[in-house]
Amino acid sequence: MRAILTATVLLLAVLAHAGPPARPRPLPAPAPAIPVVTSCWLEPRWFYTLRDGAVDYCKQHLRYYKGKPDCLAFTDEICWAYNPDTGEWFQLRNNGDQRVVICPDGPEPPTCPRLR
Protein backbone atom coordinates (compact mmCIF):
# COMPACT_ATOMS: atom_id res chain seq x y z
CA MET A 1 0.00 0.00 0.00
CA ARG A 2 2.86 2.28 0.83
CA ALA A 3 4.34 1.56 -2.64
CA ILE A 4 1.09 2.58 -4.38
CA LEU A 5 0.93 5.80 -2.36
CA THR A 6 4.55 6.62 -3.17
CA ALA A 7 4.00 5.93 -6.89
CA THR A 8 0.89 8.14 -6.92
CA VAL A 9 2.68 11.02 -5.18
CA LEU A 10 5.64 10.66 -7.57
CA LEU A 11 3.33 10.65 -10.61
CA LEU A 12 1.50 13.78 -9.41
CA ALA A 13 4.82 15.54 -8.80
CA VAL A 14 6.01 14.74 -12.33
CA LEU A 15 2.74 15.95 -13.87
CA ALA A 16 2.78 19.15 -11.81
CA HIS A 17 6.38 19.85 -12.86
CA ALA A 18 5.66 19.24 -16.55
CA GLY A 19 3.47 22.36 -16.88
CA PRO A 20 0.53 22.87 -19.20
CA PRO A 21 0.23 20.59 -22.21
CA ALA A 22 1.96 21.79 -25.34
CA ARG A 23 -0.22 23.45 -28.00
CA PRO A 24 -0.37 21.66 -31.32
CA ARG A 25 1.66 23.22 -34.13
CA PRO A 26 -0.36 25.06 -36.75
CA LEU A 27 -0.54 23.40 -40.14
CA PRO A 28 1.42 25.15 -42.89
CA ALA A 29 -0.63 27.01 -45.46
CA PRO A 30 -1.05 25.11 -48.70
CA ALA A 31 1.20 26.32 -51.50
CA PRO A 32 -0.59 28.13 -54.32
CA ALA A 33 -1.06 26.03 -57.42
CA ILE A 34 1.20 26.68 -60.37
CA PRO A 35 -0.72 27.85 -63.46
CA VAL A 36 -0.92 25.32 -66.27
CA VAL A 37 0.14 26.84 -69.62
CA THR A 38 -1.82 25.28 -72.46
CA SER A 39 -1.11 27.03 -75.77
CA CYS A 40 1.14 29.86 -76.97
CA TRP A 41 1.44 31.92 -80.15
CA LEU A 42 3.28 34.96 -81.49
CA GLU A 43 1.39 38.15 -82.20
CA PRO A 44 2.58 41.50 -83.59
CA ARG A 45 2.50 44.47 -81.24
CA TRP A 46 0.26 47.22 -82.58
CA PHE A 47 0.86 50.97 -82.39
CA TYR A 48 -2.05 53.36 -82.78
CA THR A 49 -2.25 56.77 -84.45
CA LEU A 50 -5.24 59.09 -84.51
CA ARG A 51 -4.90 59.80 -88.23
CA ASP A 52 -4.04 56.37 -89.68
CA GLY A 53 -5.21 53.82 -87.09
CA ALA A 54 -3.16 50.78 -86.12
CA VAL A 55 0.21 49.85 -87.63
CA ASP A 56 2.53 47.01 -86.63
CA TYR A 57 5.74 49.07 -86.62
CA CYS A 58 7.04 52.31 -85.10
CA LYS A 59 9.79 54.78 -85.98
CA GLN A 60 12.93 55.02 -83.88
CA HIS A 61 13.48 58.76 -84.39
CA LEU A 62 11.15 61.75 -84.55
CA ARG A 63 11.82 62.27 -88.25
CA TYR A 64 10.33 59.70 -90.63
CA TYR A 65 12.73 58.27 -93.24
CA LYS A 66 10.81 56.33 -95.91
CA GLY A 67 12.84 53.46 -97.36
CA LYS A 68 15.48 53.56 -94.59
CA PRO A 69 16.00 50.90 -91.90
CA ASP A 70 14.75 53.19 -89.13
CA CYS A 71 11.55 51.42 -88.02
CA LEU A 72 11.04 48.65 -85.47
CA ALA A 73 8.57 45.76 -85.47
CA PHE A 74 7.83 43.88 -82.24
CA THR A 75 6.31 40.47 -81.58
CA ASP A 76 4.84 39.31 -78.28
CA GLU A 77 4.35 35.75 -77.05
CA ILE A 78 0.84 35.20 -75.70
CA CYS A 79 -0.16 32.04 -73.80
CA TRP A 80 -3.41 30.73 -72.33
CA ALA A 81 -3.01 29.54 -68.74
CA TYR A 82 -5.33 27.79 -66.30
CA ASN A 83 -5.32 28.37 -62.52
CA PRO A 84 -6.35 25.09 -60.80
CA ASP A 85 -7.10 26.87 -57.48
CA THR A 86 -9.70 29.28 -58.85
CA GLY A 87 -10.68 27.47 -62.05
CA GLU A 88 -10.22 30.56 -64.19
CA TRP A 89 -8.41 31.00 -67.51
CA PHE A 90 -6.15 33.99 -68.19
CA GLN A 91 -3.56 35.18 -70.69
CA LEU A 92 0.15 35.58 -70.07
CA ARG A 93 2.00 38.11 -72.22
CA ASN A 94 5.77 38.06 -72.69
CA ASN A 95 7.81 40.52 -74.69
CA GLY A 96 9.11 38.79 -77.77
CA ASP A 97 11.77 40.10 -80.09
CA GLN A 98 12.22 43.40 -81.85
CA ARG A 99 13.63 43.70 -85.32
CA VAL A 100 14.68 46.60 -87.48
CA VAL A 101 12.59 46.94 -90.64
CA ILE A 102 12.73 49.27 -93.60
CA CYS A 103 10.22 52.07 -93.11
CA PRO A 104 7.48 51.62 -95.74
CA ASP A 105 6.02 54.30 -98.00
CA GLY A 106 2.68 53.91 -96.20
CA PRO A 107 1.38 56.02 -93.36
CA GLU A 108 3.85 57.57 -90.95
CA PRO A 109 3.94 55.46 -87.79
CA PRO A 110 4.12 56.77 -84.24
CA THR A 111 7.48 57.12 -82.52
CA CYS A 112 8.46 54.00 -80.58
CA PRO A 113 7.87 54.20 -76.83
CA ARG A 114 10.90 54.11 -74.59
CA LEU A 115 11.55 50.49 -73.71
CA ARG A 116 13.50 49.82 -70.56
| Distance separating alpha carbons of residues 108 and 44, to the nearest angstrom | 18
Query: What is the percent of the chain with per-residue pLDDT over 70, rounded to a whole number?
Result: 84
Q: Position 29: which residue type?
A: A
Rounded to 5°, angle at Cα 114 from 113 and 116:
135
41-77: buried (b, 16+ CB within 10 Å) or exposed (e) per residue? Answer: eeeebebeeeeeeebebbbeeeeeeeeeebbbbbbee
pLDDT, greater one: 52 or 14: 52
Q: Position 90: which residue type?
A: F
Convert the pLDDT of each residue in 16-65 to its tens digit: 665 666 788 888 877 778 889 989 999 999 998 888 889 889 998 888 88
Q: Long-range pairs for 12-21 at CB < 8 Å and ≥24 separation? A: none
pLDDT, greater one: 5 or 38: 38
Other beta carbons within 10 angstroms of residue 16's beta carbon come to: 8
Domain residue ranges of the chain, discontinuous segments joined by +: 54-116
